[in-house]
C-alpha cells in the first residue's frame, strides 16, 4: 500500500462556539489547509472530504455537512461524505481517509471532525450521548455513559486496588497539561487535595456516578479539528514538499459486544486491545516504540484501562505508574499532553481528529509548553460507546 501521512493540521478552541456548525468545521478546515499550504478554486488538489460528527443532524439541524463544507471552501468537485461512529467518529474518518489514499482512489484527503453540543442542556447532552447504548437492553432503562463508567470504575477498584486519589492525580496532570494548550476547554490547574480530600471534595467535585465525581470526567464541549492527508509519492507534486510528513504507520479498529452485559469480564476492554494490537502489527512496532499517547479519557478510569490494554503498562499497574509520575511530561511515557478529554474537552466528532492533531504537533516538535523531548512516534485511542467500537492510530516521523 502507499504511504499516507499528515501535512496539515487545524484545531479550534474547544469550549463554547457562538457561530453555526458549518462555521465551526470551516474554521478547522481552513487552518489545516493553511498549515499545509493547500489552495482552493482551480488550484485545489483535495480529492475527498470526510466530515465526522455524531450529532450535527440531531443537535444542529444540519445534514450533508461535508457537501456544504466543500462548497464553502470552494474546492468543488471534491467528493464529500459524512461519517458517524459515536465518539469514535473522528478517528473512523481518518481511517477512511487513509484507506482512500492507500488504495489509490485519492491522493489528498481532508478530514474534519466537529461537534456543537452546548446548544442543549447538560442533561440533554447526556441523553444524546446515551443513544449509542444498546437500543433495547440498555438505553430504555435509563443507563448513561457516566453510569457505565461508575460501575466500571468500581469493578476496577475492587480488582486492582486503584483509588479515587489515583484518578485525582490523573486529573491534576491533565489539567496541568491543558494550561499549555491554547485550544483546551479548561485552562486552569487543580490542586490534588481540593478534589480528593474529604474536607473539600463534596463542594469542589460533587458525586456524579459513584465513585466518579465531577473532576473524574470530561466537560461537554463544542469544537472542531482537521487533518490534511496526502500520499507520500504525491507530496512534492501536490505542493506539500516543504511540510513534515507525519506518517500514519498504523491505523486499525475493532468492536466488542454492543450489550456490555454480554462480556465475559466487564473490566476487559477487548476492542481497545485488539485495535491497538492491529495498529502495532501494521506499523511493525510495539508499545516500547511509543513516545507519547493520547488516550480517550472521557472518564479518567479509561486512561488507566486503555494504557494497559495498549501494552504501555502491565494489567493492574497503570495506577502505580501514575503515582510514580511516569505518565507526566518528562516521565517514561507521557499520556494526554493535550490535556486529554478531561481538560481539553470532548466534542464527540472532533475528539479522534484532535488526538491525532496533538500527536502530529508532538512529532513535529511544535507542542510549545508541553513538548515531549525527542518525540517521534505517538499512539491515539478513540473510544466509541462503552468500548464497543474503538480506533487506534500510530503517527510517526521515523
Alpha-carbon gap, residue 33 to 78, rounded angstroms: 14
The answer to pTM > 0.95 is yes
CATH code for the domain of 370: 3.40.47.10
Q: Do the domain assignments include residue 176?
A: no
The verdict on residue 319 lying in a domain is no
Which ranges of the chain have pLDDT less than 50?
Answer: none
pLDDT of residue 1: 83
Q: Is residue 283 part of a domain?
A: yes
Q: Which domain holds residue 97?
A: 1-141+219-300+339-398
- CA dihedral for 257, 111, 292, 251, sign (positive or negative): positive
Asked, for residue 378, whether it belongs to a domain, the answer is yes
| Widest distance between CA atoms in the chain | 64
The DSSP string of 220-250 is P-EEEEEEEEEEGGGTTTTT-TTS--EEEEE
With helix as H, strand as E and coil as C, how does 267-281 read?
Answer: CCCHHHHHHHHHHHH
CA dist., res. 396 & res. 30, Å (int): 24
Domain count across the chain: 1
Structural domain includes residue 207:
no
Peptide bond into 42 cis (omega under 30): no
Peptide bond connecting 211 to the previous residue in cis, omega within 30 degrees of 0: yes
Q: Is residue 177 part of a domain?
A: no
The answer to the question of residue 296 being in a domain is yes
Please report the pLDDT score of residue 124 as a whole number: 93
152 belongs to a structural domain: no
> Quick one: pLDDT at residue 87?
97
What pLDDT is attached to residue 84? 97
Supply the pLDDT for residue 51: 98
Residues 301-318: tens digit of each pLDDT: 999 999 999 999 999 999
Q: CA-to-CA distance for 370 and 300, rounded, in angstroms?
A: 20
Residue 160 in grid coordinates:
486492582
DSSP state of 357: H
Coil/strand/helix, residue 171: helix
Amino acid at each position: 500500500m502507499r504511504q499516507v501521512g499528515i501535512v496539515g493540521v487545524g484545531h479550534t478552541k474547544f469550549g463554547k462556539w457562538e457561530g453555526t456548525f458549518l462555521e465551526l468545521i470551516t474554521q478547522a478546515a481552513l487552518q489545516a489547509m493553511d498549515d499545509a499550504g493547500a489552495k482552493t478554486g482551480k488550484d485545489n488538489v483535495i480529492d475527498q472530504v470526510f466530515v465526522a460528527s455524531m450529532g450535527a443532524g440531531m443537535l444542529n439541524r444540519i445534514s450533508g455537512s461535508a457537501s456544504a463544507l466543500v462548497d464553502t471552501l470552494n474546492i468543488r468537485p471534491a467528493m464529500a461524505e459524512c461519517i458517524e461512529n459515536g465518539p469514535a467518529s473522528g478517528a473512523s474518518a481518518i481511517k477512511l481517509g487513509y484507506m482512500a489514499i492507500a488504495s489509490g482512489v485519492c491522493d489528498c484527503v481532508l478530514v474534519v471532525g466537529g461537534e456543537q453540543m452546548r446548544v442543549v442542556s447538560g442533561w440533554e447532552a447526556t441523553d444524546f450521548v446515551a443513544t449509542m447504548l444498546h437500543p433495547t437492553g440498555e438505553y430504555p432503562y435509563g443507563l448513561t455513559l457516566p453510569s457505565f463508567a461508575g460501575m466500571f470504575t468500581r469493578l476496577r477498584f475492587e480488582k486492582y486496588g486503584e483509588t479515587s486519589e489515583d484518578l485525582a492525580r490523573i486529573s491534576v496532570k491533565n489539567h496541568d497539561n491543558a494550561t499549555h494548550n491554547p485550544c483546551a476547554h479548561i485552562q486552569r490547574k487543580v490542586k490534588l487535595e481540593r478534589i480528593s480530600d474529604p474536607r473539600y471534595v463534596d463542594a469542589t467535585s460533587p458525586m456524579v456516578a459513584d465513585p466518579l465525581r465531577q473532576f473524574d470526567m470530561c466537560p461537554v464541549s463544542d469544537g472542531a479539528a482537521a487533518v490534511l492527508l496526502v500520499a507520500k509519492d504525491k507530496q512534492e507534486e501536490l505542493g506539500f514538499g516543504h511540510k513534515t510528513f507525519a506518517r500514519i504507520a498504523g491505523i486499525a479498529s475493532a468492536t466488542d459486544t454492543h450489550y456490555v452485559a454480554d462480556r465475559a469480564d466487564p473490566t476487559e476492554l477487548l476492542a481497545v486491545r485488539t485495535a491497538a494490537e492491529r495498529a502495532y502489527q501494521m506499523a511493525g512496532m510495539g508499545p516500547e516504540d511509543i513516545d507519547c499517547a493520547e488516550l480517550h479519557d472521557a472518564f479518567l478510569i479509561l486512561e488507566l484501562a486503555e494504557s494497559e490494554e495498549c501494552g504501555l503498562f502491565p494489567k493492574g499497574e497503570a495506577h502505580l505508574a501514575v503515582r510514580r509520575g511516569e505518565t507526566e511530561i518528562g516521565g517514561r511515557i507521557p499520556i494526554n499532553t493535550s490535556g486529554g478529554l478531561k481538560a481539553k474537552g470532548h466534542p464527540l466528532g472532533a475528539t479522534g481528529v484532535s488526538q491525532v492533531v496533538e500527536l502530529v504537533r508532538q512529532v513535529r516538535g511544535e507542542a510549545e509548553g508541553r513538548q515531549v523531548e525527542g518525540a517521534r512516534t505517538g499512539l491515539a485511542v478513540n473510544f466509541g460507546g462503552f468500548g464497543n467500537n474503538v480506533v487506534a492510530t500510530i503517527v510517526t516521523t521515523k
